[in-house]
Amino acid sequence: MTNATITENPLLIGKGLPPFDKIEASHVVPAMTELLKELETDLTNLEANLAPTWEGLVEPLTKMEEKLGWSWGIVGHLMGVKNSPELREAYEKMQPEVVKFYNKLSQSKPIYEAFKELRNSTDWDKFESAQQRIIESSLRDFELSGVGLEGETKERFNQIQLELAELATKFSNNVLDATKAFKLKLTDKKDVEGLPDSALSLMAQTANLSPNPSSVEKNIPLTSPLVGETERGGEGSIEATPENGPWVVTLDYPSYIPFMKYAQSSELREKLYKAFISRASSGELDNKSNIDRILELRKEKANILGFDTFAELSLARKMAPSVEAVDKLSEELRVASYDAALKEFEELKAFAGKDDLKHWDTTYWSEKQKEAKFKFNEEELRPYFPLPQVLDGLFSLAKRIFGVNIIPADGQAPVWHEDVRFFQINDEQDETIAYFYLDPYSRPAEKRGGAWMNDCVGRAKMTVEGKTTTRLPVAYLICNQTPPVGDKPSLMTFMEVTTLFHEFGHGLQHMLTTIDYVGASGINNVEWDAVELPSQFMENWCYDRPTLFGMAKHYETGETLPEEYYQKLLAAKNYMSGSAMLRQLHFGLVDVELHHRYQPGGDETPNEVRDRIAETTTVLKPLPEDNFLCSFGHIFAGGYAAGYYSYKWAEVLSADAFAAFEEVGLDNEVAISATGKKYRNTVLALGGSLHPMEVFKQFRGREPKTEPLLRHSGLVASVSQ
């Protein structure tokens, strides 16, 4: 791209909805090069003309951060949903430059000193709470970004920041590539016995979409002779069918999970399980050295900033006051769930009639036991959860408890893939208050696994040429659920339904905010261990009668889910809940241990640390070849480093918040609406304008209790009994 056309670069627009139909990987390097040059000038000008006032400091600084956030945010978003070799190359070229600029900005002594003056000024009491929180968290962020460092120490700190950013990208790409590289082709009907139609259809569809051998990933260590043998899509290839195959199973969740649940062949389940737990742990995609280096650098970074461990540095920005507080909650929940998990496993062994139940057998036998206990399997529910119907139910719930209308707005915004939907949210007065994109389906070739919400545009008051308007928030909601197969819509598992509700909960906090300062609107400035409150809160509604019956309708007949299934679903809700809670605690405790007590380069490897923690947090100890840490993107490539405990910390809050609705009666529409309004006006509206404990107390009238979480998990008897 020549300089003459740089002004036409869609990544340089800097505001509004991203023009996804025009953005190409070739735009990234010229756009970011140009933008960073502009920002360097802006930063120099700001430092030279600083006024320690809101208008003279916070506003111009926010403007700069937003300018960079808009362009680079789009690039990061596309890395997650439309990954390609060209985009990767451009991202990896510009990432160090972006990190260097962030370092320079966050270590600006003049700006930091101006913030200190602003904090100590006589105007302090005139600021709104949102402004005070923004100023105080800006000071803390400057300090945690090394503003006080000098000379070689500062140089070393900045090198660490650069290397950590590169390692996180590398880690994530390795997991994506390792997941994508594994394909298990099956041609014998005996190998797919037990699998439901939905799984066979997806596996046949995958076979038809799979590349022929010439285009299969190179340099990928094959974990079995069956991997990478796919012949679909080549010239003269046979069309795969659900009935006759061939079938291709992958490590992508919509493919992997049904296989582990239903495939009768223990030998094939073992092959798949071992491939899954050893992702990104060998050959060119091995993440082990990346993990060692990440942990070493994080500890060094924390030490430079005056903390003993990275966990202490991480908690300086969180709701939990200390590592001890995290340990205390984790232990309280571990004690409550460990014995339950042991008992559940003993019952499972007895049911399977096997004394040596293997890792790859537990999901299969759990599903069988669940079917026997509750007389249904999750596959029977799929036809009742077509995506369009689930969305109707979700949107009806949002209207019922929060008073908002959600309307399809497809075609009003360019999208990055034809399956992406666009919606608008209107309030009670029919005023539009927010928008969101929904990218629902799994696309293992270009989209990373998991589900997430990200902000596209944040709410803010904007004054342009003397005219003040409110910029409306826009969210990205990303899931990886089962795609439509043939002429059927996406038929969701109940777990996929709860995942969609979860991400929508995050989206609501971003979209229903009433704070007009970007630095504290929506999810901005919300402590990380409180950010899962609105998402986990929404999951509870999947079991709420009006909500469930409003969306669970058969995709062909329109028939509502039979009452008996609803009762079975409720009965099965806490099936293996001790094991499920223990699993989350295991991940959280391993994370804290690696970032707090583990010594990089010492006597133990990260895997040995995990095995030691597993002694008291797992019922079935990890296999010697289990390299789960090599694909634990949450803590090595995402924002959950020394913060994975946040899921449980916030679940205490979310369970207690839902208990407020239970207490007024879930069938009492007037009371539900009033409680919903209060929740919307506190938890969803206030964003990062107050400390999350203050927000929670405004909603609940008191501090949170752990009892509702244990009760909802079936780990303590209901209070009313």
Three-class SS of 372-406? HHHCCCHHHHHHHCEHHHHHHHHHHHHHHHHCCEE
| Distances 611 to 18, 28, 182 between C-alpha atoms, Å | 45, 43, 26
Is the model's pTM score more than 0.85?
A: yes
Task: Give me the pLDDT at residue 6, please.
Answer: 55
Over residues 97-119, mean pLDDT = 97
- Is the pLDDT score of 233 beyond 70? no
pLDDT of 168-222, one tens digit each?
999 999 999 999 999 999 999 999 999 999 999 999 999 998 764 322 232 323 2
With b meaning 16 or more CB within 10 Å and e meaning fewer, what string describes 131-151?
bbbbbebbbebbebbbbebee
- Is the pLDDT score of 244 beyond 80? yes
pLDDT of 338-376, one tens digit each?
999 999 999 999 999 999 999 999 999 999 999 999 988
Task: Give me the pLDDT at residue 8, please.
Answer: 87
Task: Give me the pLDDT at residue 218, please.
Answer: 27
Residue predicted with more confidence, 486 or 255? 255
Task: Give me the pLDDT at residue 215, please.
Answer: 26
- Is the pLDDT score of 326 beyond 60? yes
Helices (H) and strands (E) counted in the chain, each on its own, are: 26, 9
Task: Give me the pLDDT at residue 222, please.
Answer: 29
Asked if 520 contacts 688 with a C-beta cutoff of 8 angstroms, the reply is yes
Determine the Cα–Cα distance for residues 413 and 18; give it in Å rounded to an integer.
8
How many of the other CB atoms lie within 10 Å of CB of 189?
A: 11
Letter for the amino acid at 373?
Answer: K
Determine the Cα–Cα distance for residues 650 and 553; give it in Å rounded to an integer.
32
pLDDT of 647-685, one tens digit each?
999 999 999 999 999 999 999 999 999 999 999 999 999
Active site residues: 503
Asked if 42 contacts 101 with a C-beta cutoff of 8 angstroms, the reply is no
Determine the Cα–Cα distance for residues 237 and 456; give it in Å rounded to an integer.
42
Task: Give me the pLDDT at residue 237, please.
Answer: 56
- What is the greatest pairwise CA distance in the chain? 79
Parallel/antiparallel/unpaired status of strands 421-426 and 432-441 = antiparallel
How many of the other CB atoms lie within 10 Å of CB of 2?
A: 6
Tracing tokens 């903390």 back to the chain, one arrives at: 307
pLDDT of 17-73, one tens digit each?
999 999 999 999 999 999 999 999 999 999 999 999 999 999 999 999 999 999 999
Q: How many residues are present in the chain?
A: 721
Letter for the amino acid at 327?
Answer: D
Among the listed residues 500, 666, 486, the one whose alpha carbon sits nearest the alpha carbon of residue 570:
666
Task: Give me the pLDDT at residue 105, please.
Answer: 97
What does the CA dihedral 66, 71, 75, 80 come to, rounded to 10 degrees? 30
Q: Distance of alpha carbon 466 from its chain centroid, rounded?
A: 39
When computed from its CA atoms, the radius of gyration of the chain, rounded to whole angstroms, is 26
How many of the other CB atoms lie within 10 Å of CB of 221?
A: 14
* Complete domains list, the chain, with CATH: 3-148 (1.20.1050), 182-279 (no CATH), 285-375+577-644 (1.10.1370.10), 382-572 (1.10.1370.40)
Among the listed residues 36, 621, 617, the one whose alpha carbon sits nearest the alpha carbon of residue 356:
621
Asked if 499 contacts 390 with a C-beta cutoff of 8 angstroms, the reply is no
| Mean pLDDT value across the chain | 93
